[in-house]
Amino acid sequence: MVKKAFAVLVLLLFFMSIIAAGCLQGGGTSTSSPGNGPVSSASSTESFEYKALKLPPGNYTTLYLGEVLQGACPPGRVRVTFAYHPNGTNVTSVSVRGTFNDWKEWHMKEMADGSWVLRICLPPGTYQYKFFIDGKWVKDMSKVDPTADSYVADGYGGKNAVKIVKGERGLNLDYDPTDPAYFSIADNRTVIRFKVAPGEISSATLVTSFGEFKMEKQLWWSSGEMWRAEVPVVKPFKYYFRIERKGSDVLLLNNSAEPFFSFDGVDRFPQVQWVSKAIGYQIFPDRFYNGNKSNDVFALQSDELWLNEMSNERPILSNWSDPITPLNCCHQYFGGDIAGITDKLDYLSSLGVKLIYLNPIFLSGSVHGYDPYDYYRIDPKFGTKQELKKFLNEAHKRGIRVIFDFVPDHSGIGHWAFLDVAARGRASPYWNWYFIKKWPFKLGDGKAYAGWWGIGSLPKLNTMNPAVENYLLGAVMYWLNFGFDGVRVDTPSDLINADQFFSEMRKRVKAKYPNAYLVGEIWTLSPDWVSGDRFDSLMNYALGRDILLPYAKGSVGGEVTMGMLGKYYAAYGENVVAMGFNLVDSHDTSRVLTDLGGGNLGDTPKPDAVKRLKLLSTLLYTLPGMPVTFQGDECGFLGNKNHYDEQRYPIQWDKCNQSLVNHYRNLAKLRESVPALTSSKIEFYTAKDGVLAFFRGHHNEALVIANNENNATLIKLPEGTWKEVWPTGGGSVKGEIKVPPVSVLVLVREAEGG
């Protein structure tokens, strides 16, 4: 009898422990997995059998993240109202930017009384902010927002408003399944993440219809952490989160009526799969290579300076190695063309290039081509349509895709529609294609009509006019039909109806060409532009110039850089990260080697700058997304933007640094030989002094360790045995490793017993 009672007691204690753990329905005990794979017996098979999801019994704290109650905010948040009263002034757009959103733009809504209002939920704290009205910052917020708690100097001669949000700080956790930053399909996996304040939780589990998946702390920065799990299928399922906080389990549910979050299995923002495995290369055609000298003279015939009545300058045609002049930016031609690019395709293939981004090649009045005269006609100075077709065919034979540059915000003064307006005024059927302030006018007079940034040679197009929209989007489809593989869009944020225009562009393009690549020239961290309705990627200067370049210079250490990378990768969906157009420099910036202290055009690059270029390029090639090289960077060329845009000087091929070229070739081979480096996933490992270390691959198969200091640093390695594959094929290592100064190591995890 005593034995039976003891057995019952043991059994009771066993069930009580299961209930207390909240996992009676879980089907198994969770264990750690190095690859973020399934962690319960219910999900340990490859079939991932679907099972109806149930809430576990037991005494759990529950938080409803999706509860929609009138005036209610999620736990730990307080409703805050921002309001702007124009007092009779005509206003077309108002947004609020502040420390609560990293000074990004959150649009306010116009109310019936003419005021503009935004109501949001914020954690308790003190925040600075400003209104952004009709594209301009309010200089002194004390003059427009009397509801602020106080005002502080903004550092630019004005004042920011201060809002103090009072309340009890609870669990500060963000999750929105409609935002790609939190829910995306990447590399044919369902990726689910949430953001939480540092140290708020000690562990997390994603509980799904396919079993349980241990969540990893993927990213971190001073004010937040991103936790991640992936479900290795893209099928309908239900799910919720179980987290451990302050020693107790908390269930994060949808709402009281429908406690489980639900995914219907539909990928509404498909990843363009080929991008993450590609290497990109930007070509500025006039300065790349001259393959057909007979078309050089055509450059002078269409130049804008012949039409511009506000200028006495004249274009010039130079030999390939002539010195630059003050006209170098825009009206000094050197003869590069499409035939020249075709001639260099084998060279580009040797660099591993799989995508070419061409600066504008359509009829225009300048070297750069951002003042188009005809969106449907290739500029004769660059070649013929037959030469363009040959180039595309030869590129495609080598597995190289090509995207073209599209300029929808403005045309050039030589555009046939604008010339008709200039000649006929209101009688022109194209009068409403532009924003004319007075007529008659002189060509080039930026006061007579709206121009891009007020520049008279770049008259702004009225993209709200359906005829203009159809003309422009028709050109996009025309060139995709011709054989291009995608579009890079110039200054998209400057369009008067940017959201509507690019949403329509995406619909038209993706309906016919779902694998076409759409890139927008946005320089800042701007996730709104890549949320599934406009672009696949931005030009990621926010990664290359704002984060990687200062690190490569040695201006910031590993911990600061990791924090900046954390914010960057937390802002974007993992599918977007995989499609990243990642660059450091371009035709619009100084050359990266100059930025690194290597000197200016004509100088011999300083050895330390070359070493730091190798560090920077290796980081760019080992982060998620597609690394993009500006023509000639692989040769070690220099160029200061502030000296007549000398970064655009013609490539002097006979002066190419072959050692550096081989470095870029070897980087391409590295990416090809280590598949983890072309996956969508990054996970932080550690940062110390000048060292920055992160994992790559869905099972953390690769480890990248960078050191920007002039001293070697000893780093403890993750558990297991690792093999060095960059910069040399070293032997196996475990425990710790010494990272040489100004260098990057790439290690791959060896199989146990291998």
Cα–Cα distances in Å, from 93 out to 5, 85, 437, 461? Answer: 75, 12, 22, 20
Same domain, 609 and 669: yes
* Residues linked to residue 208 through DSSP beta bridges, in sequence order: 211, 239
With helix as H, strand as E and coil as C, how does 282-341 read?
A: EECHHHCCCCCHHHCCHHHHCCHHHCCCCCCCCCEECCCCCCCCCCCCCCEECCCCHHHH
Do 547 and 629 belong together in one domain? yes
pLDDT at position 350: 98
The whole-angstrom separation of Cα 685 and Cα 22 is: 30
For residue 507, tell me if it sits in a domain. no
State the pLDDT at residue 11. Answer: 29
- Given 622, 655, 673, which residue is the final one in a domain? 673
Based on the residue annotation, tell me whether 490 is a catalytic residue of this protein.
yes
CB 606 within 8 A of CB 304: no
pLDDT of residue 101: 84
Co-location of 108 and 202 in the same domain: no
Average pLDDT over residues 462-489: 98
**Tokens representing 159?**
């004042």
Q: How open is the CA angle 445-448-449, to the nearest 5 degrees?
A: 100
Domain that holds residue 704: 677-749
Low-confidence winner among 267-281, 625-639, 725-739 (lowest mean pLDDT): 725-739
Q: Is residue 471 part of a domain?
A: no
Residues 634 and 571 in one domain: yes
DSSP class per residue in 486-550? EEEESSGGGSTTHHHHHHHHHHHHHHH-TT-EEEE---S--GGGGSSSS-SEEB-HHHIIIIIHH
pLDDT of residue 44: 36
In a domain, 470, yes or no: no
Sequence-ordered list of residues with C-beta below 8 angstroms from that of 119, at least 6 positions apart, any chain: 79, 80, 81, 82
Q: Which residue has the tokens 């997995």?
A: 33
Place of tokens 């914020």: 122
Smallest CA-to-CA distance from 355 within 291, 272, 473, 290 is with 272
Residue 694 sits in a domain of what CATH number? 2.60.40.1180
What Rg value do the Cα atoms of the chain yield, rounded?
A: 29
Tell me if 450 is assigned to some domain: no
Structure tokens at 427: 């009688």
Domain co-membership, 589 together with 538: yes
pLDDT for the residue numbered 753: 57
- Average pLDDT of the segment spanning 95-106: 87
Let me know if residue 652 belongs to a domain. yes
Q: Is the residue at 421 inside a domain?
A: no
The pTM score is 0.86
- How big is the CA angle at 502 (ends 496 and 505), to the nearest 5 degrees? 130
pLDDT for 281 beyond 80: yes
Per-residue model confidence as pLDDT tens digits over 393-426: 999 999 999 999 999 999 999 999 999 999 999 9
Kind of pairing between the strands at 109-110 and 224-231: unpaired
pLDDT recorded at residue 49: 83
Domain termination site, one of 121, 140, 165: 165
Residues 651 and 710 both lie in one domain: no
- pLDDT at position 355: 98
pLDDT of residue 76: 72
Classified as helix, coil or strand, 388 is helix
Are 698 and 557 part of one and the same domain?
A: no
Q: Is residue 498 part of a domain?
A: no
Report residue 22: phi and psi, to 5°: 70, 30
Whether 387 and 342 have beta carbons less than 8 Å apart is answered as: yes
CA distance 130 to 141: 7
Does residue 556 form part of some domain?
Answer: yes
Same domain as 607, residue 531? yes
Catalytic residue among 225, 521, 633, 724: 521
pLDDT for residue 50: 85
pLDDT of residue 69: 53
Alpha-carbon gap, residue 715 to 479, rounded angstroms? 51
Identify whether residues 397 and 529 lie together within a single domain.
yes
Q: Is the pLDDT of residue 29 over 70?
A: no
Same domain, 285 and 360: yes
Domain boundary among 231, 263, 295: 263
Of 187, 379, 490, 536, which one is the catalytic site residue? 490
Q: Is 300 exposed, middle or buried (0-12, 13-18, 19+ CB in 10 A)?
A: middle
The domain spanning residue 12 has which CATH number?
A: 2.60.40.10
Is the domain of 223 the same as that of 98?
Answer: no
CB 91 within 8 A of CB 116: yes
Q: What is the pLDDT of residues 510-536, one digit of tens each?
A: 999 999 999 999 999 999 999 999 999
The tens digit of pLDDT for each residue in 46-86 reads 567 888 999 888 778 888 887 655 557 776 778 899 999 99
217 vs 204: CA distance, rounded Å: 9
Domain tally for the chain? 4
Q: Which two tokens stand for residue 368?
A: 């750069």
Query: 592 and 706: one domain?
Result: no
pLDDT band at 21 (very low <50, low <70, confident <90, very high): very low
Q: What is the mean pLDDT of the chain?
A: 91
**What tokens appear for 450 in the block?**
């709206």
Residue 310 tokens read as 């506000």
Is 504 an annotated catalytic residue?
no
Q: What is the pLDDT of residue 246?
A: 80
For residue range 230-266, what is the model confidence (pLDDT) as tens digits? 999 999 999 999 999 887 889 999 988 899 999 999 9
pLDDT for 67: 67
For the chain, give the percent of residues with pLDDT over 70: 92
CA distance linking residue 539 with residue 546, whole number of Å:
12
Quick one: pLDDT band at residue 1, thresholds 50, 70, 90? Answer: very low
**Residue 313 · residue 331 · CB < 8 Å:** yes
Mean pLDDT along residues 491-518: 96
Task: Residue 358: give its domain's CATH number.
Answer: 3.20.20.80
- 457: helix, strand or coil: coil
